Amino acid sequence: MEAVDQLASAGTFRVVKEPLAFLRVLEWLFAIFAFATCGGYSGGLRLSVDCANKSESDLNIDIAFAYPFRLHQVNFDAPTCEGKRRETLSLIGDFSSSAEFFVTIAVFAFLYSLAATVVYIFFQNKYRENNRGPLIDFIVTVVFSFLWLVSSSAWAKGLSDVKIATDPDEVLLLMSACKQQSNKCLPVRSPVMSSLNTSVVFGFLNFILWAGNIWFVFKETGWHSSGQRHAADTMEKQSSGYNQSGYNQDSYGPSGGYNQPGSYGQVGDYSQPQSYGQSGPTSFANQI
């Protein structure tokens, strides 16, 4: 208990309230739902074959299948309505590649989200050291976003094919007894695939979460910080250049030709000729 208390006190759980760590927790939960609803699936269908000879009929033909949906390996027995002879048939299709790819991505996303959350809480200083942690986190987030999109799309297509291959009406067409009009072949129970539909929904929700988290991880990298510094330096250079040009114009203006007319006005005080002209007639009058 003491070790747990020390570990809890060392961790800064406040980061969980921030978008970066909060989205990681959601990714962790949604990844669990994604691989649990797909990887833990098992279902089945039931058919009935009512032969013209009732003793040869089989009204409860159960066919079970499960993840990873290698349907071509699912075998079942069906009556031929030709005596006691029965035939062994199998479903059609192998959809394990898309299903296993989807579950694999979900498991690795679950593990990475859990590890990243632990790092955010207990090793935040080392995470930001040398900017290596945020850069790795950013690259992994972009890769997982792409993989979630690809795997969810592939599994959505694979699920559509699984539904067609396990459709009771399609399976009845595989039986030789159902090709004779004297026999009655009917579906009794169809497979329930609501959990598989849910897995596809969680797959695309995981893609949205991881794609949305790209921005918050990018803000932790040096690329975002250097971009902000570059923009700030550009604004400072522009503002300083504007101030310098305005200062030069103001200093040039007073020293320019605007004050020169004033100086000419001062020089224009050479009104001495006027005073000279006034003293001339006065002296001449005195002589007279």
Closest CA relative to residue 36, chosen from 67, 10, 81, 5: 67
Q: What is the pLDDT of residues 201-245, one digit of tens each?
A: 999 999 999 999 999 888 888 765 554 444 444 445 455 544 544
Q: What is the pLDDT of residues 32-85, one digit of tens each?
A: 999 999 999 999 999 999 998 888 899 999 999 999 999 999 999 999 998 888
Q: What is the pLDDT of residue 266?
A: 42
Distances from the Cα of 212 to the Cα of 23, 47, 201, 261, angstroms: 9, 46, 17, 68
Q: What is the pLDDT of residue 13?
A: 63
3-state DSSP call for residue 3? helix
SS (H, E, C) 25-55: HHHHHHHHHHHHHHHCCEEEEEEEEECCCHH
In the chain, what percentage of residues exceed pLDDT 90?
A: 54
Higher local confidence (pLDDT), 232 or 135: 135
Q: What is the pLDDT of residue 132?
A: 81
Q: Is the pTM of this model over 0.75?
A: no
Q: Is residue 109 within 8 Å of 86, Cβ to Cβ?
A: no
Q: What is the pLDDT of residue 129?
A: 76
DSSP assignment of 194-255: HHHHHHHHHHHHHHHHHHHHHHHHHTTSHHHHHHHHHHHHHHHHHHHHHHHHHHHHHHHHHH
CA 200, CA 32: separation in Å to the nearest integer? 13
CA 39, CA 188: separation in Å to the nearest integer? 26
CA 56, CA 50: separation in Å to the nearest integer? 8
Higher local confidence (pLDDT), 122 or 130: 122
- Average pLDDT value for residue range 172-184: 91
Q: What is the pLDDT of residue 222?
A: 72
Between the ranges 8-12, 51-55, 113-117, where is the mean pLDDT highest? Answer: 113-117
Q: What is the pLDDT of residues 249-277, one digit of tens each?
A: 444 444 444 444 444 444 344 444 443 33
DSSP assignment of 52-80: SSGGG-EEEEEEEEETT--GGG-EEEEE-
Tokens at 169, concatenated: 């009406």
Instruction: Write the DSSP symbol of residue 158.
Output: H
Q: Is residue 69 within 8 Å of 95, Cβ to Cβ?
A: yes
Q: What is the pLDDT of residue 66?
A: 95
- CA angle, corner 141, sides to 139 and 147, nearest 5? 105
Q: What is the pLDDT of residue 133?
A: 83
Q: What is the pLDDT of residue 12?
A: 58
- Average pLDDT value for residue range 149-154: 97
Partner residues linked to 12 by β-bridges:
none
Query: Which residues, including other chains, have CB under 8 Å from residue 17's CB and lie 6 or more apart?
Result: none
Identity of the residue numbered 70: R
Mean pLDDT of the chain: 79
CA 169, CA 102: separation in Å to the nearest integer? 28
